[in-house]
Amino acid sequence: MDHVDPARSERQRLKALLAEHGIQPTAQRVRVAEVLFCRDQHLTAEQVIHALGRNGSHVSKATVYNTLNLFAGKGLLKALSLDRECCRFDSNTRPHHHIHVEGTGELIDVPPGSVEFSRLPPLPAGAEQVSVEVVVRVRRPG
Amino acid sequence: MDHVDPARSERQRLKALLAEHGIQPTAQRVRVAEVLFCRDQHLTAEQVIHALGRNGSHVSKATVYNTLNLFAGKGLLKALSLDRECCRFDSNTRPHHHIHVEGTGELIDVPPGSVEFSRLPPLPAGAEQVSVEVVVRVRRPG
DNA sequence: TTCCTTGCAAAACTTTTGCATTAAA
DNA sequence: TTTAATGCAAAAGTTTTGCAAGGAA
Protein backbone atom coordinates (compact mmCIF):
# COMPACT_ATOMS: atom_id res chain seq x y z
CA MET A 1 0.00 0.00 0.00
CA ASP A 2 1.02 3.53 -0.70
CA HIS A 3 0.73 6.04 2.13
CA VAL A 4 1.95 9.18 0.36
CA ASP A 5 -0.20 12.19 1.26
CA PRO A 6 0.32 14.80 -1.46
CA ALA A 7 -0.65 17.74 0.77
CA ARG A 8 1.77 16.53 3.39
CA SER A 9 4.68 16.14 1.01
CA GLU A 10 3.90 19.56 -0.43
CA ARG A 11 4.15 20.95 3.06
CA GLN A 12 7.51 19.25 3.47
CA ARG A 13 8.72 20.81 0.26
CA LEU A 14 7.60 24.27 1.44
CA LYS A 15 9.27 23.82 4.80
CA ALA A 16 12.50 23.04 3.02
CA LEU A 17 12.04 26.06 0.76
CA LEU A 18 11.61 28.38 3.74
CA ALA A 19 14.52 26.86 5.61
CA GLU A 20 16.75 27.29 2.53
CA HIS A 21 15.98 31.00 2.65
CA GLY A 22 16.79 31.32 6.33
CA ILE A 23 13.17 31.41 7.41
CA GLN A 24 12.01 29.36 10.34
CA PRO A 25 9.20 27.24 8.87
CA THR A 26 6.48 27.77 11.43
CA ALA A 27 2.98 26.42 10.86
CA GLN A 28 1.57 29.85 9.97
CA ARG A 29 4.35 30.61 7.50
CA VAL A 30 3.87 27.28 5.78
CA ARG A 31 0.15 27.99 5.48
CA VAL A 32 0.86 31.34 3.86
CA ALA A 33 3.40 29.66 1.57
CA GLU A 34 0.82 27.05 0.55
CA VAL A 35 -1.44 29.83 -0.67
CA LEU A 36 1.30 31.76 -2.43
CA PHE A 37 3.48 29.17 -4.05
CA CYS A 38 0.95 26.78 -5.56
CA ARG A 39 1.39 28.73 -8.82
CA ASP A 40 2.74 31.97 -10.25
CA GLN A 41 0.31 34.66 -9.15
CA HIS A 42 0.00 38.21 -7.90
CA LEU A 43 -1.96 38.50 -4.69
CA THR A 44 -2.72 41.40 -2.42
CA ALA A 45 -2.42 40.95 1.33
CA GLU A 46 -6.18 40.86 1.55
CA GLN A 47 -6.43 38.16 -1.11
CA VAL A 48 -3.95 36.07 0.85
CA ILE A 49 -6.01 36.46 4.01
CA HIS A 50 -9.16 35.41 2.15
CA ALA A 51 -7.45 32.46 0.50
CA LEU A 52 -6.28 31.27 3.91
CA GLY A 53 -9.84 31.50 5.16
CA ARG A 54 -11.08 29.46 2.20
CA ASN A 55 -8.42 26.85 2.99
CA GLY A 56 -9.75 26.63 6.52
CA SER A 57 -6.36 27.77 7.81
CA HIS A 58 -6.59 30.90 9.88
CA VAL A 59 -3.60 33.18 10.31
CA SER A 60 -3.92 36.56 11.99
CA LYS A 61 -3.82 39.65 9.82
CA ALA A 62 -0.68 41.02 11.44
CA THR A 63 1.12 37.73 10.93
CA VAL A 64 0.09 37.64 7.28
CA TYR A 65 1.54 41.10 6.74
CA ASN A 66 4.68 40.26 8.65
CA THR A 67 5.07 37.04 6.71
CA LEU A 68 4.59 38.70 3.34
CA ASN A 69 7.18 41.30 4.20
CA LEU A 70 9.51 38.62 5.52
CA PHE A 71 9.16 36.53 2.35
CA ALA A 72 9.70 39.58 0.16
CA GLY A 73 12.78 40.55 2.16
CA LYS A 74 14.22 37.05 1.76
CA GLY A 75 13.58 36.99 -1.98
CA LEU A 76 10.69 34.53 -1.98
CA LEU A 77 8.28 37.17 -3.23
CA LYS A 78 8.58 40.28 -5.30
CA ALA A 79 6.53 43.26 -4.16
CA LEU A 80 4.76 44.96 -7.05
CA SER A 81 3.21 48.37 -7.16
CA LEU A 82 1.55 48.89 -10.48
CA ASP A 83 -1.36 51.10 -9.72
CA ARG A 84 -2.43 53.20 -6.81
CA GLU A 85 -4.16 50.32 -5.13
CA CYS A 86 -2.44 48.31 -2.50
CA CYS A 87 0.70 46.33 -2.95
CA ARG A 88 0.69 42.97 -4.68
CA PHE A 89 3.09 40.15 -3.98
CA ASP A 90 4.35 38.26 -7.01
CA SER A 91 5.19 34.63 -6.40
CA ASN A 92 7.30 34.67 -9.56
CA THR A 93 10.64 36.17 -8.52
CA ARG A 94 12.48 35.36 -11.71
CA PRO A 95 13.07 38.40 -13.89
CA HIS A 96 10.02 39.11 -15.99
CA HIS A 97 7.71 41.84 -17.16
CA HIS A 98 4.01 42.55 -16.96
CA ILE A 99 1.02 43.43 -19.05
CA HIS A 100 -1.42 45.43 -16.97
CA VAL A 101 -5.01 45.50 -18.18
CA GLU A 102 -6.69 48.79 -17.39
CA GLY A 103 -10.09 48.57 -15.80
CA THR A 104 -9.93 44.99 -14.62
CA GLY A 105 -6.52 45.42 -13.00
CA GLU A 106 -5.57 42.03 -14.42
CA LEU A 107 -1.85 41.34 -14.47
CA ILE A 108 -0.26 39.07 -17.07
CA ASP A 109 3.28 37.77 -16.73
CA VAL A 110 5.58 38.35 -19.69
CA PRO A 111 8.67 36.15 -19.87
CA PRO A 112 11.93 38.09 -20.07
CA GLY A 113 12.68 36.81 -23.59
CA SER A 114 9.58 38.53 -24.93
CA VAL A 115 11.18 41.93 -24.42
CA GLU A 116 14.47 42.98 -25.95
CA PHE A 117 16.11 46.38 -25.84
CA SER A 118 18.22 47.94 -28.53
CA ARG A 119 18.91 50.92 -26.32
CA LEU A 120 18.84 51.66 -22.60
CA PRO A 121 19.58 54.92 -20.82
CA PRO A 122 22.96 55.74 -19.29
CA LEU A 123 22.92 55.16 -15.54
CA PRO A 124 23.81 57.86 -13.03
CA ALA A 125 27.51 57.91 -12.20
CA GLY A 126 28.41 55.22 -9.70
CA ALA A 127 25.05 53.51 -9.86
CA GLU A 128 24.70 49.88 -10.76
CA GLN A 129 21.72 48.38 -12.47
CA VAL A 130 19.53 46.12 -10.38
CA SER A 131 16.74 45.35 -12.83
CA VAL A 132 14.82 46.60 -15.82
CA GLU A 133 11.11 46.11 -15.64
CA VAL A 134 8.61 46.82 -18.35
CA VAL A 135 4.92 47.38 -17.85
CA VAL A 136 2.79 47.35 -20.97
CA ARG A 137 -0.53 48.94 -20.21
CA VAL A 138 -3.38 47.78 -22.40
CA ARG A 139 -7.05 48.44 -22.69
CA ARG A 140 -9.84 46.19 -23.86
CA PRO A 141 -11.96 48.39 -26.07
CA GLY A 142 -15.67 48.27 -25.53
CA MET B 1 7.73 102.11 -15.89
CA ASP B 2 7.17 98.43 -16.11
CA HIS B 3 4.49 96.92 -13.92
CA VAL B 4 4.82 93.25 -14.90
CA ASP B 5 4.63 90.99 -11.86
CA PRO B 6 6.18 87.64 -12.81
CA ALA B 7 4.24 85.69 -10.17
CA ARG B 8 1.05 87.24 -11.40
CA SER B 9 1.65 86.45 -15.06
CA GLU B 10 2.63 82.91 -14.08
CA ARG B 11 -0.71 82.62 -12.33
CA GLN B 12 -2.44 83.84 -15.48
CA ARG B 13 -0.62 81.19 -17.49
CA LEU B 14 -1.70 78.48 -15.05
CA LYS B 15 -5.29 79.65 -15.08
CA ALA B 16 -5.26 79.35 -18.84
CA LEU B 17 -3.72 75.88 -18.62
CA LEU B 18 -6.43 74.68 -16.25
CA ALA B 19 -9.19 76.23 -18.34
CA GLU B 20 -7.81 74.54 -21.46
CA HIS B 21 -8.22 71.23 -19.70
CA GLY B 22 -11.79 71.92 -18.68
CA ILE B 23 -10.87 72.70 -15.08
CA GLN B 24 -12.37 75.69 -13.35
CA PRO B 25 -9.31 77.66 -12.25
CA THR B 26 -10.19 78.39 -8.65
CA ALA B 27 -7.68 80.04 -6.33
CA GLN B 28 -6.85 76.76 -4.55
CA ARG B 29 -6.33 74.85 -7.77
CA VAL B 30 -4.03 77.53 -9.10
CA ARG B 31 -2.03 77.37 -5.86
CA VAL B 32 -1.65 73.61 -6.24
CA ALA B 33 -0.70 74.09 -9.90
CA GLU B 34 1.96 76.63 -8.91
CA VAL B 35 3.61 74.00 -6.75
CA LEU B 36 3.33 71.21 -9.31
CA PHE B 37 4.06 72.81 -12.62
CA CYS B 38 7.06 75.01 -11.84
CA ARG B 39 9.20 72.12 -13.14
CA ASP B 40 9.11 68.42 -14.01
CA GLN B 41 8.91 66.62 -10.69
CA HIS B 42 7.36 63.71 -8.85
CA LEU B 43 5.61 64.71 -5.67
CA THR B 44 3.54 62.79 -3.19
CA ALA B 45 0.32 64.32 -1.89
CA GLU B 46 2.07 65.05 1.37
CA GLN B 47 4.94 66.82 -0.38
CA VAL B 48 2.42 68.99 -2.19
CA ILE B 49 0.75 69.90 1.10
CA HIS B 50 4.10 70.81 2.64
CA ALA B 51 5.17 72.82 -0.38
CA LEU B 52 1.95 74.78 -0.18
CA GLY B 53 2.67 75.50 3.46
CA ARG B 54 6.16 76.71 2.62
CA ASN B 55 4.64 79.00 -0.02
CA GLY B 56 2.39 80.49 2.60
CA SER B 57 -0.63 79.29 0.62
CA HIS B 58 -2.86 77.03 2.62
CA VAL B 59 -5.17 74.54 0.93
CA SER B 60 -7.04 71.94 2.92
CA LYS B 61 -5.86 68.37 2.75
CA ALA B 62 -9.07 67.08 1.21
CA THR B 63 -8.94 69.72 -1.48
CA VAL B 64 -5.33 68.85 -2.27
CA TYR B 65 -6.28 65.20 -2.76
CA ASN B 66 -9.33 66.10 -4.80
CA THR B 67 -7.26 68.47 -6.91
CA LEU B 68 -4.50 65.95 -7.55
CA ASN B 69 -7.05 63.36 -8.64
CA LEU B 70 -8.82 65.91 -10.77
CA PHE B 71 -5.58 66.97 -12.48
CA ALA B 72 -4.61 63.34 -13.06
CA GLY B 73 -8.03 62.58 -14.50
CA LYS B 74 -7.75 65.50 -16.89
CA GLY B 75 -4.27 64.51 -18.04
CA LEU B 76 -2.34 67.28 -16.30
CA LEU B 77 -0.57 64.80 -14.05
CA LYS B 78 0.42 61.20 -14.35
CA ALA B 79 -0.04 59.06 -11.24
CA LEU B 80 2.97 56.87 -10.55
CA SER B 81 3.23 53.89 -8.30
CA LEU B 82 6.80 52.68 -8.22
CA ASP B 83 7.25 51.33 -4.76
CA ARG B 84 4.95 50.40 -1.97
CA GLU B 85 4.89 53.89 -0.58
CA CYS B 86 2.15 56.28 -1.48
CA CYS B 87 1.31 57.46 -4.91
CA ARG B 88 3.41 60.11 -6.64
CA PHE B 89 2.14 62.58 -9.16
CA ASP B 90 4.39 63.24 -12.12
CA SER B 91 4.12 66.71 -13.59
CA ASN B 92 5.68 65.37 -16.78
CA THR B 93 2.84 63.75 -18.69
CA ARG B 94 4.73 63.25 -21.94
CA PRO B 95 5.69 59.60 -22.51
CA HIS B 96 8.89 58.82 -20.66
CA HIS B 97 10.57 56.28 -18.46
CA HIS B 98 12.17 56.31 -15.03
CA ILE B 99 15.29 55.35 -13.19
CA HIS B 100 14.44 54.50 -9.61
CA VAL B 101 17.26 54.69 -7.09
CA GLU B 102 16.87 52.12 -4.34
CA GLY B 103 17.30 53.36 -0.83
CA THR B 104 16.85 57.05 -1.49
CA GLY B 105 13.68 56.55 -3.54
CA GLU B 106 14.99 59.16 -5.96
CA LEU B 107 13.26 59.15 -9.34
CA ILE B 108 15.03 60.25 -12.50
CA ASP B 109 13.19 60.97 -15.72
CA VAL B 110 14.40 59.15 -18.82
CA PRO B 111 13.37 60.66 -22.16
CA PRO B 112 11.53 58.22 -24.42
CA GLY B 113 14.33 58.23 -27.01
CA SER B 114 16.74 56.74 -24.49
CA VAL B 115 14.89 53.44 -24.61
CA GLU B 116 14.32 51.42 -27.76
CA PHE B 117 12.82 47.98 -28.08
CA SER B 118 13.74 45.35 -30.62
CA ARG B 119 11.00 43.10 -29.31
CA LEU B 120 7.79 43.53 -27.36
CA PRO B 121 5.34 40.86 -26.23
CA PRO B 122 2.19 39.95 -28.13
CA LEU B 123 -0.84 41.60 -26.59
CA PRO B 124 -3.88 39.65 -25.42
CA ALA B 125 -6.45 39.20 -28.15
CA GLY B 126 -8.56 42.29 -28.61
CA ALA B 127 -6.45 44.45 -26.35
CA GLU B 128 -4.90 47.66 -27.53
CA GLN B 129 -1.67 49.08 -26.21
CA VAL B 130 -1.94 52.19 -24.08
CA SER B 131 1.67 52.69 -23.07
CA VAL B 132 4.95 50.97 -22.42
CA GLU B 133 6.79 52.12 -19.36
CA VAL B 134 10.23 51.09 -18.28
CA VAL B 135 11.60 51.33 -14.77
CA VAL B 136 15.33 50.80 -14.39
CA ARG B 137 16.11 50.09 -10.78
CA VAL B 138 19.60 51.03 -9.69
CA ARG B 139 21.59 50.94 -6.53
CA ARG B 140 24.39 53.19 -5.35
CA PRO B 141 26.95 50.82 -3.89
CA GLY B 142 28.39 51.77 -0.54
C1' DT C 1 16.06 29.29 29.82
C1' DT C 2 16.37 32.10 25.93
C1' DC C 3 14.97 33.57 21.72
C1' DC C 4 11.61 33.88 18.21
C1' DT C 5 6.78 33.93 16.74
C1' DT C 6 1.93 34.73 17.21
C1' DG C 7 -2.42 37.13 17.94
C1' DC C 8 -5.05 40.77 19.28
C1' DA C 9 -5.90 45.40 19.63
C1' DA C 10 -4.50 49.78 18.99
C1' DA C 11 -1.99 53.04 16.41
C1' DA C 12 -0.32 55.22 12.28
C1' DC C 13 -0.87 56.55 7.79
C1' DT C 14 -2.95 57.57 3.31
C1' DT C 15 -7.02 58.59 1.02
C1' DT C 16 -12.08 59.33 0.60
C1' DT C 17 -16.53 61.09 1.96
C1' DG C 18 -20.51 63.80 4.21
C1' DC C 19 -22.07 68.06 4.90
C1' DA C 20 -22.51 72.84 6.01
C1' DT C 21 -20.40 76.99 4.19
C1' DT C 22 -18.66 79.82 0.62
C1' DA C 23 -17.59 81.24 -3.95
C1' DA C 24 -18.41 81.27 -8.81
C1' DA C 25 -21.23 81.23 -13.06
C1' DT D 1 -30.31 81.73 -8.43
C1' DT D 2 -28.28 77.71 -9.35
C1' DT D 3 -24.32 75.09 -9.51
C1' DA D 4 -19.76 73.95 -8.20
C1' DA D 5 -15.83 74.07 -4.91
C1' DT D 6 -13.96 74.34 -0.24
C1' DG D 7 -12.83 73.03 4.47
C1' DC D 8 -13.33 70.47 8.33
C1' DA D 9 -14.02 66.40 10.61
C1' DA D 10 -15.10 61.85 10.41
C1' DA D 11 -14.76 57.53 8.08
C1' DA D 12 -12.59 53.98 5.50
C1' DG D 13 -8.82 51.21 4.04
C1' DT D 14 -4.14 49.45 4.38
C1' DT D 15 -0.15 48.52 7.01
C1' DT D 16 2.62 48.67 11.29
C1' DT D 17 3.49 48.27 16.16
C1' DG D 18 3.23 47.17 21.30
C1' DC D 19 2.83 43.73 24.23
C1' DA D 20 1.37 39.63 26.64
C1' DA D 21 1.18 34.81 25.75
C1' DG D 22 2.77 30.73 23.48
C1' DG D 23 6.16 27.69 21.10
C1' DA D 24 10.68 26.22 19.39
C1' DA D 25 15.58 25.66 20.03
Nearest chain B residue to A134 by CA: give it: B134
What pTM did the predictor assign?
Answer: 0.83
Instruction: Indicate the CATH number for domain B6-90.
Output: 1.10.10.10
Task: State the first-to-last Cα distance of chain B, in angstroms, to the nearest integer.
Answer: 57
Tell me what pLDDT residue A80 has.
86
Q: pLDDT (tens digit, 9 = 90+) per residue, A5-57?
A: 677 788 999 999 999 999 999 999 999 999 999 998 999 999 999 999 998 88
Tell me what pLDDT residue B32 has.
95
DSSP string, A86-125: --EEES--SS-EEEEETTT--EEEE-GGG-EEEE-PPPPT
Which of B83, B128, B138 is opposite residue A130, by nearest beta carbon?
B138
User: What gap in Å lies between CA A92 and CA A94, rounded to an integer?
Assistant: 6
Q: pLDDT (tens digit, 9 = 90+) per residue, A69-111?
A: 999 999 999 888 777 666 788 989 889 999 998 877 788 999 9
Which positions in chain B touch A121 (Cβ < 8 Å)? 97, 99, 110, 114-115, 136
User: Average pLDDT of each block of 10 consecutive residues along chain B (142 residues)?
Assistant: 69 94 95 93 92 92 94 90 74 90 85 96 94 92 76
Tell me what pLDDT residue B62 has.
94
Give the domain ranges of chain B.
6-90, 97-139
Tell me what pLDDT residue B84 has.
64
